[in-house]
Structure 1
Amino acid sequence: MKKLLRNVLRSTWVQRTVGFVAAEFLRLVWLTNKFSFEPANVYELVEPQQPAIFAFWHGQHFMTPFIKTKPSHRVKVLISRHRDGEFNAIAAERLGIGTIRGSGDHGSAFYRKGGVGAFKEMVRALADGYNVASTADVPKRARVAGLGIIMLARESGRPIMPFAMATSRFIRLNNWDRTTINLPFGRGALVGIESIVVPADADADTMEKLRLRLEIILNEATRRAYAQVGRPEEAAHG
């Protein structure tokens, strides 16, 4: 039975159907939640710094495609090669976001999960004027920023833009990253605090300090986003 279910989930028609439905559901969520922005002129501040690396936490990612509000906002997102990644990739592309397949983990699985090719593709995308979006934490280590995104900023010379998005109505799963499924007909918030620039000559000590800084900023942005939609207690349990 498990094998049959696995084969069904891997079938192209199921993946495309789930991806399509997910994309259209998220579009409904975006259209029916009244979003606030912090700072209010966030797009005016960010646009001159593009292309940039947009960073967010695992499990808080479903609304992130909607940071793209203009055709000129060209974005590619890093999505894992895992089976679940297929649904996410189809949904992202349906929402006008390009995809890069591979892992952002620079640990022992970096080569096996396509990390090298994905890293090079992200550097090329940034050089070609695309924004790149990626989770800052790596699988199974929720809310712990990895070095991969810091390495990408150092190699590309582009700034990291940490941000968080939250909605007042959601379902939270009991998995490793406490995935939040945003729901329609409520309030939403997008919070960005400050950008991070990694010098081209950054040594290991500097990169570790910037990794910790990224972690702090993302946690604070997440806290503020939930507070703005009236769910302040949720950030601490994310």
Structure 2
Amino acid sequence: MRWSKRLLRQPAMLAAAGSVAAAYLRFVRRTNPMTLEPHDIYDRIAPDLPVIIALWHGEHLISAFFRNPDRPGHQTKVLISRHADGEINAVAARKLGIGLIRGSGAHHGDFRRKGGVPAFKDMLEALAEGYNVVLTADVPKVSRRAGLGIVKLAQHSGRAIYPLSLTTSRRKELNNWDLTAINLPFGRMCGVIGEPIRVPRDADDAALEAARLKLEQELNAASARAKLLAAGKGS
């Protein structure tokens, strides 16, 4: 068992798995026409670019397809952890045209672990350079509870957070901590963006917590709405 785990964690194996994942996700996108709500979301976001895109864990696999490469200002980087699963995601993201920032977040805004401090600085730098930054709002392994890290990123960068949920009508949800959705071909892809959250630079602890709760509410609402649309019940 140990040798098999070591084999699966070899760089060549991780790279191959990431390449296969990217090819599969492209196939899913090609066979799932996408609907966005609101329909003019790219125009609404444009004045705020670059922005912070917030997702829930488990809904992240198809998030690359929200980016519109044909529009200016849509260059994007994504925060991906440094563990082995993260390496597969990183290879897939690169194949899909997304830049990388490596590290992990924390529930209480403590970025000292798992490469967090450099990652936080890298995200600030990316936003300053005009890149949109995508990251999950919840931190392993507490699903659907937003951490303060993303709120502090908005505070220090001055950029708005846009909550995003993308799903497909055909999907398999795994029985793990984040209910990872394995999106399937030949259905409908639906994306919903919630109201932007803006965090003043002088926000105190109470204001940061209010922004965190607002983000949580907006992500939950976007997720529920996206699933309703994907099921054909939202019109």
Deviations 1:47-104 (A, max 9, x none): 2211000001001101100111125311000001111100000000000000100011
> Contact 1:32–1:184 (CA<8 Å) still a contact in 2?
yes
Deviation of 1:13 after TM superposition, in Å, equals: 1.2
Deviation at 1:227, TM superposition (A): 0.2
**Structure 2: gaps spanning 5 or more residues:** none
Q: What TM-score does the superposition give when structure 1 sets the normalisation length? A: 0.94
CA distance in 2, matches of 1:27, 1:108: 34
Displacement of 1:110 in angstroms is 3.2
The answer to whether the Cα contact below 8 Å between 2:109 and 2:149 also exists between their aligned partners in 1 is: no
1:106–1:115 contact (8 Å) kept in structure 2: no
Q: In structure 1, how many angstroms separate the alpha carbons of the residues matched to 2:177 and 2:110?
A: 18
Displacement over 3 Å in runs of 4+: 106-110
Aligned match of 1:179: 180
Residue 143 of structure 2 corresponds to residue 142 of structure 1: yes
What residue number does 2:210 align with? 209
Give the whole-Å Cα distance in 2 for the aligned partners of 1:190 and 1:106. 26
Quote the Cα distance in structure 2 between the aligned partners of 1:182 and 1:81. Answer: 24
1:151 aligned residue: 152
* Residue 34 (1) aligns with residue 33 (2): yes
CA distance in structure 1 between the aligned counterparts of 2:33 and 2:58, rounded to whole angstroms = 21
Greater mean deviation of Cα atoms: 71-80 or 53-62: 71-80
- Structure 1 109/199 Cα, relative in aligned 2: closer, same or farther at 3 Å? closer
For residue 8 of structure 1, report the CA deviation from its aligned partner: 1.1
8 Å Cα contact 1:65-1:97 kept in structure 2? yes
Q: What is the alpha-carbon distance in structure 2 between the residues aligned to residue 202 and residue 155 of structure 1?
A: 10
8 Å CA contact retained: 2:36, 2:191: yes
1:152-187 Cα deviation digits (max 9, x unpaired): 000000000101001010111111001001011001
Aligned residue pairs total 231
Deviations 1:199-225 (A, max 9, x none): 010000000001000000000000000
Match of 2:117 in 1: 116
- 1:12 is matched with 11
Between the aligned partners of 2:209 and 2:196, the Cα distance in structure 1 is 16
Change (3 A) 1:193 1:110: closer
- Answer yes or no: is the 8 Å Cα contact 2:53–2:133 preserved in 1: yes
SS in 2 for 1:33: coil
Task: Classify 1:108/1:44 alpha carbon distance in 2 versus 1 (closer, same or farther; 3 Å).
Answer: closer
When normalised by structure 2's length, the TM-score is 0.95
Tell me the amino acid that sits aligned with residue 186 of structure 1: G
**Helix, strand or coil: the match of 2:219?**
helix
Q: Secondary structure at the match of 2:28?
A: helix
Contact preservation (8 Å) 1:187, 1:229? yes
Change in 2 beyond 3 A, CA 1:41/1:109: closer
The residue aligned with 1:235 is none
